[in-house]
A and B are shown apart, each in its own frame.
Chain A
């Protein structure tokens, strides 16, 4: 057992890099073998990467997308986390909201884009709103779960020492539920990226998803694959950064099984 864990640790450091290289190599071989028009080799796509990354317009598009995503994420943090924490500590509120949330849960949020655009116009507001909806639910559920399962004695102590209910929510419940809240943030972050890309693919106004399909319409296939690589790297990079932050903030907590792959719009 120890041998295999040690082996795994060595692999853990270099592993992701090796996996990426192996995947690229597999891609290269398959593409050369198939010789499809719509399936350029990895080398061709990689050659387009610097071209796209030095193109001001493309960068502005990706930047716009990320800005909207950040806005929506912060908004969801401000709304969904407090509501989730309150739900976790109040049975009445949980009973009121849970049925509503479980009905909203299976709705594809990015699919709301056409409706939301008719209601709020084609500007940033609609796009931010749709991402906000997608991010809110996982955040809310994880906050709810964290607040519900916290150690109640902590709350009693705080109450006995004269702490008011609103203060308790932020000084006791929030830190106690933080590991779950941050897990929700991680799911929410990948969700935000998915909803962002899919809503831009559906609405085709601006942003990274639109760039992707524009390149496809113009039959610039290496560009399409380069954009996919950029978005994939973005997903991996954001997740990695957040995971570091999460470990730093909650290194004191028990390790939780991450339900990370459960993310989707």
Chain B
């Protein structure tokens, strides 16, 4: 009982905010064409969700989001693990140059090179999402207890095998932390890319609604992408618990 109370307590400020928002539009303090009531947004979302066309846009966004994240994950972890053993200084310098650069500025270049379809958006997601994973893996792998590596090597495990049998599991907590940041970045990036130039996807839906001043339709994709971000984050936390169940 007490635990349930504790879980509900953080929701109170949120509920108060949503109620205040709802009542201020209901009571006419704010024009509903400028700020739609949260209930109106949710009703519209419920109307749109069964529609095939809307689902197609959601699917396009998810393909880019998850595709980009998966590529960033594979490359980030591989590069980070390798660089923790050889040429770490080079990678660190490359990161130092590229990390503070606003990747969104490269988007026009990606569009010119990869075209307007999936590839340019995925490229931008990869460019943005790879850095947290890469950094986390690199720093995590460098601080792995050396005795573990020595023992594995002494027991006859090869260099490469040591990397993915010993270093990778030991780096897993750090990698998962990097993933958490990257996933959020990927969500935001894919949405912005679709808003800037696209013909489909959730971001495009927002731009489309903005052109015809449909406030409710503008909020729907925004609420949806934020919920996708939250959901993915929660999924990741459960995965983390499952993967790290042996560790404290």
Asked whether A106 lies within 8 Å of B13 as measured between CB atoms, the reply is no
B93 interfacial by beta-carbon distance below 8 Å: yes
List 22 interface pairs A-B (beta carbons < 8 Å), by A numbering: A16-B96, A39-B109, A39-B113, A99-B13, A103-B226, A105-B184, A107-B226, A108-B188, A108-B191, A108-B192, A112-B222, A114-B210, A118-B210, A190-B100, A197-B105, A213-B108, A216-B108, A261-B134, A262-B132, A264-B128, A264-B185, A265-B192
Nearest Cβ in chain A — how far from B245, in angstroms? 25
Known A221-B112, A228-B108; contact A202-B192, beta-carbon cutoff 8 A: yes
Per-residue CB contact flags for chain B residues 1-31 toward chain A (1 = under 8 Å, else 0) read 0000000011101100100000000000000
Interface residues on B, range: 35 or more
Name the residue of chain B whose CB is nearest to the CB of A110: B192
Asked whether A100 lies within 8 Å of B17 as measured between CB atoms, the reply is yes
Q: Which residues of B contact A (CB under 8 A)?
A: 9-11, 13-14, 17, 34-35, 88-90, 92-97, 99-109, 111-113, 128, 131-132, 134-135, 139, 181, 184-185, 187-189, 191-192, 195-196, 203, 206-207, 210, 213, 215, 218-219, 222, 225-226, 229-230, 233
Asked whether A106 lies within 8 Å of B185 as measured between CB atoms, the reply is no
* Majority secondary structure, B binding face: helix
Asked whether A201 lies within 8 Å of B196 as measured between CB atoms, the reply is yes
Asked whether B89 lies within 8 Å of A7 as measured between CB atoms, the reply is yes
Q: How far is the CA of A38 from the CA of B113 in the complex (A)?
A: 6
A77-111 interface with B by 8 A CB criterion:
95-100, 103, 105-108, 110-111
Residues of B within 8 A of A16 (CB): 93, 96-97
Query: Which among A100, A111, A235, A240 is the interface contact of B192 at CB below 8 angstroms?
Result: A111
Asked whether B89 lies within 8 Å of A8 as measured between CB atoms, the reply is yes
Nearest Cβ in chain B — how far from A131, in angstroms? 12
Residues of A within 8 A of B196 (CB): 198, 201-202, 213
Q: How far is the CA of A265 from the CA of B229 in the complex (A)?
A: 13
A239 interfacial by beta-carbon distance below 8 Å: yes
Asked whether A225 lies within 8 Å of B107 as measured between CB atoms, the reply is no
Given contact pairs A202-B196, A213-B196, A261-B181, enumerate 10 new A-B contacts (beta carbons under 8 Å).
A4-B89, A100-B14, A106-B184, A106-B226, A107-B226, A108-B187, A111-B203, A221-B112, A228-B109, A264-B185
Q: Which one of B13, B105, B181 has the highest number of Cβ atoms from chain A below 10 Å of its Cβ?
A: B105
Query: Which among A4, A96, A115, A231 is the interface contact of B102 at CB below 8 angstroms?
Result: A231
- Shortest 3 CB-CB contacts between residues of A and residues of B: A38-B112, A106-B229, A239-B100
Q: How far is the CA of A39 from the CA of B9 in the complex (A)?
A: 55
